[in-house]
Structure 1
Amino acid sequence: MAALFQGIKGIIYYLDDVLISGRTEEEHNTRLVKVLDIILENGLKANMNKRKNKRFEWGEAQERSFEKLKIKMVEKPILNCFNEKLDIILTVDASNEGIGGVLLQMTDDVEKPILFLSRRFSSTEKNYSTIEREALAVKFGLEKCKEYLIGRRFILYTDHKPLVDLFKKENKELMMSPRLQRWLILGNFDFEIRFRAGKQNCLPDILSRLFKKDSANKDTVINSLEYIEEEEKLNSKVIRALKIDKREEPITFWWPNMIDGVVKFINSCDTCQRCNTRFDKTTNELQSIPARTKVWSQIGVNMCTLTEREDGYKYIAVAVDYFGKYVVAMPLKDKTAKSISKFLYLLLFTYGKAKIQINDQGREFVNEVSTNYHKLMGTMQRVTSAYHPELGRSSRKRI
């Protein structure tokens, strides 16, 4: 369209629409003829249904709109026009829901907004760590404002101090995860990153939280556990919902910082602390293992998990003699009953038969293969009580 109607004054075109104007009816008709000639010469067609023959009338509604427009034209706008001569500031922030940013310029020692930015996190991005979300906010802000920023020195503010410290360190690329390296190796931008406390970083913070669930559409909004305690009716309603009372229709509610609030409530609840089984369990007096007077008469067997290795070994089986404290260890690629039985036969053929073997209740020790082995060898197998690792301390200390 631009190439076809180039040089004709008084026309505005957008996609397939053309608006023709003139100061007089004669001038308008002259321009209209020129446009129609070009359409015919290029094999185009005009849609006559788009012509508007309705007479335009200036009434009270038009007058109000005109007066309002005049007022708006002389009022100071919220957004300022970009000025290449002024200092540039980009401030960004990330919440659990999204990203916010503001492009600013210093005018009369006051930060004036040029552009507001925000977007919601994807389901994947919500799982990013805090520093990754804050870094993504930086990346988002730079990409959206690149026309204003490339080729100019500017200041970038974030309220996440670890990100600022990371940028200031030498060889920072070596300290970043691959994801951060892709985002923050920013050769096209010339900026100084600075820390700005959250209280002073309000605009991007608000923009990043625009996507929170609308509490006005929820049955109940819970700001804190203290609030629940003060409101008996609300408390009972929430409890019924949490217990999923099937006799009633479950309510929905939004509870900001729910995990922190629940933890704080439980830790400060006297009844919770008294009834917690961790603080109310009773233990019988520990029975000492009778001292042995003969080597290899009683042994303790246990397992140790290794870090990942290239040779495929993942575990170490350990046996300790309760008399001489002698330790035998063997690397294993798995902890199946078959592998453990090989270890036990190694002990048998190397050191002889033990009268008593002590181990925990792991399935690698308590199984049909192990039972058959001990019956065949005449060894008494003793297992420690569940959740009492102190009973296998002798073999664990060696691990």
Structure 2
Amino acid sequence: PDILHYAQVDFQGGHQGITRTYEKLRPEFYWHGMYADVEVFVKECVDCASGKGHPQNPGPSPGNIEPRRPFEVVSMDFVTHLPKSDRGNTFLLLFQDSFSGFVMCKSMRSTTAQDVAEVYEEQVFRRFGASSMLKHDQDPRFMSEVFTRFRELLGSKQRATLAYRPQANGQQERSVQTVVRSIRAYIAEADQSDWDDHAERLMFALNTSGSRRAMLSGYTYPKCNQG
């Protein structure tokens, strides 16, 4: 599935049809029934179906990668309609590693494609390298623009898959709900002007829980992120 995902779904694959996807694979790969597998995969591609005007499957894309290491798959969510903080922030952008549950956040004044690309570079890329997949619940056209901006920032091609996820689920949903509940409660009970500081403290609390420390303990990250 990962090979088919690379050939058809990611930026270089470009959601091509059955024949072009098969021809992309043929010089490097072969297995019995390969053409039939390509045909099934392309026909089941959620993004391709939605682009052609068919109803979009609300469930996960068949090409989604199951993470095998930290930060291979990262989910992204926005928390909106927050009161303006002393720093002028009204949005909170959340990233979560699907493998370990590690959560990162960035309070923001605006959420243009350029802004989101810069935050992804700061929060994810500089610290952990490029993720293979970014799951999101935003407009796919907006997210494509985000990664166009990101590639421009780096001056190179960043190959990653954008997996549209209409609704958060499982671990990601629980973490997002925890963050939202905590911030909303803080705003209701205390001075609203420093909710962004509270959000950063909340990330520390979530990420230092025993289960998440254990998930990350066997992995080494770039020295610039070690403290």
The answer to whether the superposition gives a TM-score over 0.5 is no
**Bigger radius of gyration among the two:** 1
- TM-score (normalised: structure 2): 0.43
TM-score, reference length from structure 1? 0.26
Structure having the higher strand fraction is 1
- Structure in which a larger fraction of residues adopt helix: 2
